[in-house]
Structure 1
Amino acid sequence: MVEGVISPWWRKGVIYQIYPRSFQDSNGDGIGDLNGIRMRLDYISEILGVDAIWLSPIFLSPMKDFGYDVADYCEVDPIFGTMLDFKALLSDADARNLRVILDLVPNHSSDQHPWFVESSSSHDNPKRGWYVWRDASPDGGPPNNWLSVFGGSAWQWHEPTTQYYLHSFLKEQPDLNWRNPHVEQAMFDVVRFWLELGVDGFRVDVA
């Protein structure tokens, strides 16, 4: 390290991943939640002695892929609590010098996200280009032989608009088109939203 230059905390920091759904249930519904995490912060900070907690996705989601199919990047899913609960978690963590990192999923959204609902409504919708749409191959099949990580073709036929859309994972997780500057701007707005709220950083999924 160059003398006088302060190394970023995360280079040597100890980061503890929390899968909220199964970590600590605070209300007896059988699902871990944000208030459950708050209940364990003393243990995490004093006994484990970590520098930060990394939360697996807590965003609004239909949970086809346990939160990695995001329906709203700026809302907390009710199964985990409320935005007020999240703000309380940030405050409690800060009081213990614990940083909070969120799991960001920018490669794809849920097919229930308003962006995709608009994109899939017609060829002329302004958000059509927010996702990756292609015509069928000459034989009527997928545009190419790309495969989904979860098996099968990475292309899903959409009958209402007679095109295929790309999904690197589940068909309910359409890929966002990062070549579109509007997508880039929208996702940067998401990042700014959480940073201004007090989040310390992100683990970027499918990076």
Structure 2
Amino acid sequence: MFEPGPTTDTTEVRKGFAAGPQELQEPPWWRSGVIYQIYPRSFKDSNGDGVDDLGDIAEKLGYLEWLEVDAAWIGPICPSPMADFGYDISDYEDVHPMFGTLEEFDEILETAHERSIRVLLDFVPNHTSS
């Protein structure tokens, strides 16, 4: 049986075992964060056309902050022929006109970040359309 002496280095003996208390690490924010899903076609229709627009999302960010939401997950807003309600994307670098403009999306990002809300977008790489 091994018994360390006064000058024996026990590093080799402890390999594979915790040499001391393990440091607790914070889990990634998304493991315990509150994520609020926004489906742009039905979130809030303020102009009566049957479809939400980005301005409506920006308008409700204060409410999401009040709810202590960590992130807003926004469904597809990119241009699409709408055969799959926006999941058949034809242009990944723009916003579908029915939802608004890139400038309005930039406003959502800026306002959300001011309120410490992250913004997640549905990214649909396997359902492209022409």
Report the TM-score range of the alignment, normalised by the length of the smaller protein.
0.7 to 0.9
Q: How many angstroms apart in 2 are the aligned matches of 1:28 and 1:39?
A: 16
Q: Which has the higher strand share?
A: 1
> Paired residue for 2:78, among 21, 39, 59?
59
Structure 2 CA distance, aligned partners of 1:78 and 1:96?
Answer: 26
1:24 aligns with 2:44: yes
Where does residue 60 of structure 2 map in the other structure? 40
Instruction: Say which structure is richer in helix.
Output: 1
With a CA cutoff of 8 Å and minimum separation of 6, indicate the structure with the bigger relative contact order. Answer: 2
Measure how far apart 1:4 and its partner are.
5.4
User: CA separation in 1, counterparts of 2:23 and 2:97?
Assistant: 47
Deviation at 1:82, TM superposition (A): 0.2
Structure 1 alignment gaps of length 5 or more: 113-207
SS of the aligned residue for 1:73 comes to coil
Which of structures 1 and 2 has the bigger CA Rg?
2
Residues 1:71 and 2:90 aligned together: yes
Aligned-pair Cα RMSD in Å = 1.4
| Deviation for aligned residue 1:42 | 1.1
Task: Return the offset for 1:108.
Answer: 2.4
List gaps (5 residues or longer) in structure 2. Answer: 1-21
Shift of 1:30: 2.7
TM-score of the superposed pair, with normalisation by structure 1 = 0.50
**Residues 56-110 of structure 1: per-residue CA shift (max 9 Å, x gap):** 1011101000000000011110100000000000011111111100001011201
- Name the count of aligned residue pairs: 109
Determine what percentage of the aligned residue pairs are the same residue: 57
Determine whether 1:3 maps to 2:19.
no
The runs of 4+ residues in structure 1 deviating greater than 4 Å are none
Give the structure-2-normalised TM-score.
0.78
- Matched with 1:107 is 126
Match of 1:87 among 99, 106, 118: 106
Question: Aligned pair in 2 of structure 1 residues 91, 40: CA closer, same or farther (>3 Å)?
Answer: same
